[in-house]
């Protein structure tokens, strides 16, 4: 939910891409209309989940609000260098990751009997899947028109890794809050290293990266790197699987300093 609330940061990020930014704040270009429409839809996600948390009474809303405040103030850095190629590759990946995490949360909520939360997260996941499809279609067109530029941009983003939108998350107490949060998400199966590899494989197939021909030397190197990436993550996951099942405990201020294993 906290990640969903940092929309000012995400809209700022989208408007940093050369050639597609909203120059006036109310531009009638297709890119600007899309960005504002996307932001409006995403805004409903954070509102819905925050209202749910407030009404359920199971979290410390003061700490939730502090974390949101810090997150928006800190911003984010995703290595796009103002490039629309890199930017829309990032959003293609990230929206699919968000779809997966909300879907997994919906599944677990249903498993534990919270059917309302399951419905909420399932509805949000459906929105995220549509957003992912839109961004993926944009990049698919880039691969069609400029395969060399697109594959190099894809490789550059993956070399630096896809950082999550809330990587600068802070609650006023835990300086490594995002790392601890991500570790719990991995343990619970909300978003895992396997999901990361799955997304790479999905995008590789959707954009037909392995079958690209006529590339420059730089493009071929990028293609080779990308083709080896998902298997590399699979091997890494296999080596680390089962490790750290009894890791250290960490207090989370959002749930009244309750300790969870990370």
Query: What is the spatial distance between Cα 240 and Cα 20, in angstroms, rounded to a whole number?
Result: 41
20, part of any domain: no
pLDDT mean across residues, the chain = 96
Query: What is the spatial distance between Cα 99 and Cα 122, in angstroms, rounded to a whole number?
Result: 9
pLDDT digits (tens, 9 = 90+) for 129-161: 999 999 999 999 999 999 999 999 999 999 999
C-alpha dihedral (203, 125, 135, 165), degrees to nearest 10: -90
Neighbouring CB atoms inside 10 A of 249's CB total 10
pLDDT of residue 245: 61
Phi/psi at 115 (5° precision): -70, -30
pLDDT of residue 71: 97
Query: What is the spatial distance between Cα 34 and Cα 70, in angstroms, rounded to a whole number?
Result: 27
Local confidence band at 102 (pLDDT 50, 70, 90 cut-offs): very high
Q: What is the largest CA-CA distance in the chain?
A: 59
238, part of any domain: yes
Q: Find residue 258's DSSP bridge partners.
A: 252
106, part of any domain: yes
Burial class of residue 19 in the structure, from the number of CB atoms within 10 Å of its CB (0-12 exposed, 13-18 middle, 19+ buried):
exposed
62, part of any domain: no
Element containing residue 184 per DSSP (H, E): helix 177-188
203, part of any domain: yes
Range of the domain at 91: 80-261
21, part of any domain: no
128 in a labelled binding site: yes
246 in a labelled binding site: no
pLDDT digits (tens, 9 = 90+) for 222-234: 999 999 999 999 8
42 in a labelled binding site: yes
218 in a labelled binding site: no
Comparison of pLDDT for 237 and 153, the residue scoring more: 153
Q: Match 């700490």 to its residue by tokens.
A: 63
Q: What is the pTM of this model?
A: 0.95
**CATH code for the domain of 246:** 1.10.620.20
Local confidence band at 54 (pLDDT 50, 70, 90 cut-offs): very high
Residue 20 DSSP SS3: coil
Query: What is the spatial distance between Cα 9 and Cα 27, in angstroms, rounded to a whole number?
Result: 19
16, part of any domain: no
Local confidence band at 6 (pLDDT 50, 70, 90 cut-offs): very high
Six-digit token pair at 134? Answer: 């839109």
Mean per-residue pLDDT, 211-218: 98
Q: Find residue 249's DSSP bridge partners.
A: 261
**Of the ranges 61-65, 159-163, 242-246, which is most confident?**
61-65
41 in a labelled binding site: no
List the one residue out of 150, 161, 154, 156 whose CA is nearest residue 233.
161
Q: Find residue 252's DSSP bridge partners.
A: 258
Residue 66 DSSP SS3: helix
Q: Find residue 259's DSSP bridge partners.
A: 251
Domain count, the chain: 1
pLDDT of residue 244: 55
17, part of any domain: no
Give the distance from CA 241 to its chain's centroid.
23
């Amino acid at each position: 939910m906290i990640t969903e609330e940092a929309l000012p940061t995400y809209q700022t990020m989208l408007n940093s891409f050369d050639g597609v930014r909203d120059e006036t704040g109310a531009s009638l270009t297709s890119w600007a209309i899309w960005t504002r429409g996307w932001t409006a839809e995403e805004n409903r996600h954070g509102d819905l989940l925050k209202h749910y948390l407030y009404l359920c009474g199971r979290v410390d809303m003061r700490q939730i609000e502090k974390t949101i405040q810090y997150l928006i103030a800190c911003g984010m850095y995703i290595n796009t260098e103002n490039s629309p190629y890199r930017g829309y590759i990032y959003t293609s990946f990230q929206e699919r990751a968000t779809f997966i995490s909300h879907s997994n949360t919906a599944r677990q909520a249903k498993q534990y009997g919270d059917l309302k939360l399951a419905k909420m997260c399932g509805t949000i996941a459906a929105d995220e899947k549509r957003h992912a499809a839109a961004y993926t279609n944009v990049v698919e067109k880039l691969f069609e028109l400029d395969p060399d530029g697109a594959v190099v941009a894809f490789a550059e983003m993956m070399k630096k890794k896809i950082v999550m939108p809330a990587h600068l998350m802070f609650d006023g107490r835990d300086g490594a809050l995002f790392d601890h949060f991500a570790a719990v998400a991995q343990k619970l199966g909300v978003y895992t290293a396997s999901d990361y590899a799955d997304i790479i494989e999905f995008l590789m197939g959707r954009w037909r990266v392995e079958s690209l021909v006529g590339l420059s030397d730089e493009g071929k190197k990028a293609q080779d790197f990308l083709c080896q990436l998902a298997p590399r993550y699979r091997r890494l996951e296999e080596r680390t699987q089962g490790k750290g099942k009894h890791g250290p405990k960490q207090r989370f201020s959002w749930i009244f300093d309750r300790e969870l294993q990370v």
